[in-house]
Each structure stands twice: as C-alpha cells, then as structure tokens.
Structure 1
Amino acid sequence: MSKKISLADWQQQLAGSAATEHSMANQPAKTAQADLVYSTAGGRIKAEQSESLQGERYADGALRIKRETKGRGGKTVLTITGLTGTTAELTTLCTELKKKCACGGAVKDGVIEIQADKREFVAELLQQKGYKVKQAGG
C-alpha cells in the first residue's frame, strides 16, 4: 500500500524528481502519480483497478437460476449464479437478458439479478447460449 501525501508534498517531490531526472537520464523515473491522493484539478484520485474475474463456478459447471423474494419487499427477482468472468462480460450478458425479458436487472458481486419471474424463459435463453442450467430453490 502506498503512503498518502498532500498535494503540496507531492508537488515538492515532483519538482525534486524533475531536477534529479536530468542527472539520471539512463534510469527510469519514479512516477509520483501513485502517491497522489487529491488534486484541485481533478478531485480525489482513484488508483487504476485491473479487471478481475467475478463469480464462482460450481463443480458441475451448471448455472443456478433461483427465484428470490426475501428482503426485496415482496418483489420477485431471479438470481443467476455460477458464472465467472469480468464485470464487463457479466454486464453484457445481463443487458442481453434484460432486453429479452423486457425488465430490469443488475450485476452484484458476480451474481446476475433479473427483476422478473421468467425462470423458464431465462433458462431457455441461457441454454441457447450454450450454458448448462439448473433451476434451484422454489
């Protein structure tokens, strides 16, 4: 984890490293951007995050489609678990399912949530895409 410093300290380090860059032209320069916490030009600086895989695959390789209503104000939501992939891949699949079902949905912690009670239809769509599907729960 990098040490957080103020903008004034960062600028001072940057000015100091610029002076030493001329004397050490053959050595790679250390980027001070990693230590920057806040800038008046852009606000809070967030570190770049790499795309990581989300979701957990089941041992049998099948996706689980589960109907849930608990904790959702009585509304029915389908959750699709067992998918692995990057956030972008899961979001793309979720968007396609939402368009086909004409409903809302989201990707949360590697789980696709579809705001409709169309389990058979969603299972059929996923099977057409080549996934092995199991219906779980009630």
Structure 2
Amino acid sequence: MSRGKTLGVRAVAVDADGRVAMVRHTYLAGWWLPGGGVDRGETTHEAVVRELREETGLIARAAPRLVSLHANERFFPGDHVAVFVIDAFDQGERTSHGEIAEVGWFAPDALPADVNRGCRARLAEWFDGVQIDTNW
C-alpha cells in the first residue's frame, strides 16, 4: 500500500503597509503563512481563499495569483504546496476553531526568528527576488 499525493496551499497576503500576514498554530512551532490542505472537490484557488479566511479572517476581494509550486518530500512524502499572493482583501472574522493561536503582520525585513524555514524561503522569493526553490 502506498499513500496518495497530497496538495496544500499557502497565502502571501500583503497589506497596504507592505506587511505580510502570518499565523501561529496551536499544534506547530513557529510562524507560518496561512494555509492548509486542498479538500476533495475543491480547487487550489478555492482552498487558499477558504484557508485565508478561516485562519486570519481575511476575505479575498480578487482572485489569488499562483506564484510557485513546491514539493514537500523532505517533511511529508508525496506532498506538494502551491503558494498564492493575495493583495486585495477585507477584514472579517476568523472561522477556525482552536487551530490558530495568533495572527500577526510583519514587515518582510523584520520577520520573527521562528518563522518556518519553508515560509521564510517563500517570502524571500517573493519580496527579495530570490530564485524559486521547487522544494519546500
């Protein structure tokens, strides 16, 4: 028996001040870009919009833009992560129940020390023009 492939999404949501939204989960260490798994019957675009709203309360006003796709083999064999940028949104209420400990907004050059390694790399790719690494 082998496990099938999995697909996740992460959102780079940037506010008018150029800060990026990040979340601290109750079950993972450090800060992460908002995101999660793509549900059966759901597109990646739908998933990233749903996850962003659930975890941060942000409601996308425009279609998310796919910026990169990564294999997460090192940490979760068969997993892939699609990264989207969302820069037009309204603030609503979070709908996650106990999953998110904290939401924070950070300048790309002043990220917390404990930002997840893969998320830090994705932000460097987006904000600093670092070449995209296809591995998470």
Same fold (TM over 0.5): no
Tell me the TM-score normalized by structure 1. 0.30
Higher relative contact order at CA 8 Å, sep ≥6: structure 1 or structure 2? 2
Tell me the TM-score normalized by structure 2. 0.31
More helix by share: 1
More strand by share: 2
